[in-house]
A and B are shown apart, each in its own frame.
Chain A
Amino acid sequence: MTDLTDLGVAAIRDGVRDGSFSAREVAEGFIANVSAATALNAFLVETPDHALAAADAADAARAAGETLKPLAGVPIGMKDLFCTNGVPTTAASRILEGFTPPYESTVSANLWKAGAGMLGKLNLDQFAMGSSNETSAFGNVISPWRRNTGDTAPLAPGGSSGGSSSAIAARLCPAATGTDTGGSIRQPAAFTGISGIKPTYGRCSRWGTIAFASSLDQAGPMARDVRDCAIMLEAMAGFDAKDATSLDLPVPAWEAGLSGDLKGKRVGIPKEYRVDAMPPEIEALWQQGIEWLKDAGAEIVEVSLPHTKYALPAYYIIAPAEASSNLARYDGVRYGLRDLPEGAGLQDMYAATRAAGFGDEVKRRIMIGTYVLSAGFYDAYFTQASKVRTLIARDFEQAWAKCDVLLTPTAPSAAFALGEKSSDPIAMYLNDVFTVPSSLAGLPAMSVPGGLDGQGLPLGLQIIGKALDEQSVLNAGLAIEQRAGFTARAERWW
């Protein structure tokens, strides 16, 4: 009999619907995998009861002959940045230790409404700030992947959605939520050989999602293939009056619209993404991706995005500036940690609480943000970065005159070992060089696995689309998926 935990979202949904297996069997299989994989440190909280209750509801609905919900019987992982009613939510920070939300985020509520169940809350970089999942206050997440060179060095699952990527790659859940501020869905997906899409800014409500940089934060799904991402995104997205930047538009039927036939589509190759010191294997995979899309019927055109090199420095002004403002709410008064030294006044309590509660990277970004927003520097930094952001968005606008989607590598390297980059913040920031520009422009973008490097580690290809055109992004992703035939998986050692 098939191991049910080898199945993806669509296969589980269809199998439960036609009675090939029960939702409870599926949930029990994944629950067992989760509890056997503590070595990966992917889950911060396990919620087997939630998953089982949703599974039983799906089985009961089927027994009663009811129409099953779109995600009935599908257990998923929830990044611990989404507030979940009655289940501790920490953003992987000590400052929120002990916080139990009395409300449910819109994205998670949408998923439960669609019939999904929750296996647990997934580890992440603290406040989603990081590219390797090494900034969590509750320990690093370990990638299930290892190099094929015999070295067993623990590898980064990417970040910030590293718990999500590790859990999916290790078959602890068929899909999970992620959030993407500068690449936090796409880079971890690339590092672990799975797929992930960040939709257009505003597609998924930010309500109840712990804020990092509000003008960039966007939730999206991570799963093993493109179809599963489409199914998940349909459930997660939708207008929400509680988020002022939510898009008041119907959610397209992305799954029904999937087609790997790209006849008549033009795919742009941005020449500025050919960065110095890019490993030849990534260059070769990019070329292979171009061939695959040609084979799918697309026309390839070279395009220019001249302000690409300024995206990262602009991002490292805008994101920390917004973070410094958003994270001002952690004051030791309303929720989470309070550190009140003997005889301390209110101001001392704030400073002591924040010193004890925030990790180093979070402090670093709050301080950068405070600096660039401080009197005398605001125009030189924040206003200039916001203008450069306009130019970056304009670059994309001009590219759309020539093409429908863009194809690039997702990250400039395969997964690196834990500890390898953590002492050099800028080296870590550079890992997001290909993902940040589309975040700044609010565009939908996805990563799909393309192949393995010489050390047997997954590499991803990124597709960037026009605003609101997730369908073309998914379809180009599907065309690559159909041709890449990526079936490699991490051998179980945990």
Chain B
Amino acid sequence: MPVDIATVRKIASLARIAITEEDAARIAPELDNIMGWIEQLGEVDCTGVQPMTAVIPNHLRLRDDVVNADPLTGGGIRDAVLANAPQAEHGFFTVPKVIE
């Protein structure tokens, strides 16, 4: 299916990337070209083939059901979590007003 300017605008909006009309006009043929090249995958007969979910057979592990099983990925590090925020106040991330 061809990727037109309207499609590009929709994808950009879904991806939360602001684009201008000129951007959309430039990107549409680029993406259309790439998607056209990708279409060749349709030739492959995949009847009865399972989609790959893991490249190397591995089983998922469970960790102990305790707080701070690993201090590096656990809690209690609020200031470190907020340290790189563009804006943080009173121990929270700050964002523009969401509710009018």
Contact = CB atoms under 8 A, between A and B. Distances in A.
Given A200-B56, A334-B84, A367-B12, A388 B46 contact: yes
Given A103-B72, A442-B56, A351 B34 contact: no
Contact of A426 (B34, B52, B56, B70): B34
Interface of B: 3, 7-8, 11-19, 27, 30-31, 33-35, 37-44, 46, 49-56, 58, 60-61, 63, 70, 72-73, 77, 80-81, 83-87, 93, 95-98
Interface in A376-408: 380-381, 383-391, 393
Contact of A389 (B51, B83, B87): B51
Interface in A331-369: 331-338, 340, 344-352, 354-355, 358, 363-364, 366-368
Contacts of A316: 34, 37-38
Main secondary structure of the interface of A (DSSP, over half): helix
A98 B83 CA distance: 11
Interface string A235-261: 000000110110110000000000000
Given A351-B16, A352-B18, A335 B85 contact: yes
Interface of A: 98-103, 200-202, 215, 241-242, 244-245, 247-248, 307, 309-310, 313-314, 316-317, 324, 328, 331-338, 340, 344-352, 354-355, 358, 363-364, 366-368, 370-371, 374, 380-381, 383-391, 393, 425-426, 440-442, 467
A367 B15 contact: yes
B41 A102 contact: no
Contact of A202 (B56, B81, B93): B56
Contacts of B34: 316, 364, 368, 425-426
Contacts of A241: 61, 63, 70
Main secondary structure of the interface of B (DSSP, over half): loop
A363 B17 contact: yes
A401 B83 CA distance: 53
A345 B96 CA distance: 6
A336 B86 CA distance: 7
Contacts of B12: 351, 367
A201 B55 contact: yes
18 contacts: A101-B84, A102-B80, A202-B58, A245-B58, A309-B40, A310-B44, A334-B93, A345-B96, A354-B15, A354-B18, A367-B8, A367-B12, A370-B15, A371-B31, A384-B42, A387-B52, A425-B30, A440-B55
